[in-house]
Chain A
């Protein structure tokens, strides 16, 4: 079945540590890929997106993501996490029929 999977429901990292949030998808063609961040009670903010070209994508707030076709993955990374990065992170896939499908989300907690 077509799906977007974020295997980690909750991740805790120390401030200043590196971060990697995993995302896998199972769609036939190369999809359009997104990472969004949601603070409590807020809407979604786009961090970065991949449509084609360079598989390493730079986003806002120091985030980057790498598209790996062989692994059907689009993992989000940040070399040094700040306390303000604590939030819910959603991976999403854009489909050719105009739909966008979201993963279940990963909640990030940042320890002082």
Chain B
């Protein structure tokens, strides 16, 4: 089956620094990728949607200058949390789809990245 990986699985960084999270589709071309954020004991909240080679579309309330998303290839998307603060600590999950539209027809989730900002 389709596999999506995330790296790192866990990261601790100091307040004010930036951290990059990678999301890779290992055995298919991910035309569309999604980034979600999950707070403890809560549901997933969509942050942004990205199509390969295009700028990401951010959900309302998500700061695009703080959460930089790059989807430069059909197998890799990166989320960079810039000038991280403790309130950015969360579980970040990516998902990928080979489809451009109605991506949930085939959407595969990564294992998530636990970010802790001290």
B49 contact set on A, CB distance < 8 A: 98-99
A36 contact set on B, CB distance < 8 A: 109
The yes or no answer to B54 lying at the interface (CB within 8 A) is no
A51 contact set on B, CB distance < 8 A: 105
The yes or no answer to A34 lying at the interface (CB within 8 A) is yes
Taking a contact as CB atoms under 8 Å apart, the answer to whether B112 and A43 are in contact is yes
Q: Which of B13-21, B71-79, B96-104 contacts A (4 or more CB under 8 A)?
A: B96-104
B42 contact set on A, CB distance < 8 A: 104-105
B32 contact set on A, CB distance < 8 A: 98
Q: How many chain B residues touch the partner (CB < 8 A)?
A: 24
A92 contact set on B, CB distance < 8 A: 104
Partner of B104, one of A42, A43, A45, A94: A94
Interface size class of A (residues with CB under 8 A): 20 to 34
- Looking at chain A's contact residues, the main secondary structure is strand
Partner of A100, one of B46, B91, B111: B46
Taking a contact as CB atoms under 8 Å apart, the answer to whether B43 and A102 are in contact is yes
Q: How far is the CB of B63 from chain A (nearest CB, A)?
A: 19
A103 contact set on B, CB distance < 8 A: 43
Cα A66 to Cα B112 in complex, Å, equals: 29
Taking a contact as CB atoms under 8 Å apart, the answer to whether B43 and A43 are in contact is no
Residue of B nearest to A105 (CB): B43
